[in-house]
Amino acid sequence: METYLKIVTRDLKIELKGGVDFIKEVLNQKLYDVLDLASAKYQAVFQESDEELENIDANDKIPAAQEAENGSEIGLEKEKGFAKHEILTPSLKELKSRAKLGNNKELVTLVVYYSDFCLHQPPGSEDIRRLLKEELSEKPSILISLSTYLQRAKKEGWVNQEGKRWRMTGAGIEKVREWLKSA
């Protein structure tokens, strides 16, 4: 039996076509690597065979989204249900456990990476403090010296500042990927 799975977000489109075992293999083993390397407007297509993917885009029906637009409560509940089960973004604790961080400028870089690159929300200093304190239970001394560590990361070229927000640079993203692969 042939299965077709399509995942579409604002920044990513993934189409999977093939047997159930193939779909499971891709979801379990390859999808994280694709998402790790995905940039804005990245498109991934996996096929079990060399046959062309059917043009399903034109016929796609997303009833929950259509019902939500019409104000249906059922559609809104379905939309909320999909948001609850979003498992593609790893947690900050999971990323920290996978990364070999040697110092605090690396830690704040990882926090900026998580917020900016994974959650698509460039963090301010207060956001970074909150993530360090609440999610990573870091020492108060790190929170007090946050601006120092951010400036050191900026000097390394890993993060950059836009107004009151911190953004990842290309060099920073590559550095974080190295830390995550070395663990």
Which helix or strand (DSSP H or E) is residue 46 part of?
Answer: strand 42-47
pLDDT at 124 over 60: yes
What does the pLDDT look like over 128-151, one tens digit per residue? 999 999 999 999 999 999 999 999
**Displacement of CA 172 from its chain's centroid (Å):** 15
Residue intervals of the chain classified under CATH 1.10.10.10 are: 92-182
Please tell me the distance from the alpha carbon of residue 100 to that of residue 75, in angstroms, as a whole number. 43
DSSP percent split of the chain into helix, strand, coil, nearest 5? 55, 15, 30
At 74 the pLDDT is: 44
pLDDT band at 61 (very low <50, low <70, confident <90, very high): low
Length of the chain: 183
95-101 long-range CB contacts below 8 Å, 24 or more apart?
95/180, 96/136, 97/183, 98/180, 98/183, 99/176, 99/179, 99/180, 99/182, 99/183, 100/179, 100/182, 100/183, 101/179
What does the pLDDT look like over 8-50, one tens digit per residue? 776 667 777 887 777 777 777 666 565 555 543 345 555 555 4
At 36 the pLDDT is: 58
What does the pLDDT look like over 69-107, one tens digit per residue? 444 444 444 444 444 434 467 889 989 998 989 999 999
Architecture per CATH, 92-182: Orthogonal Bundle (1.10)
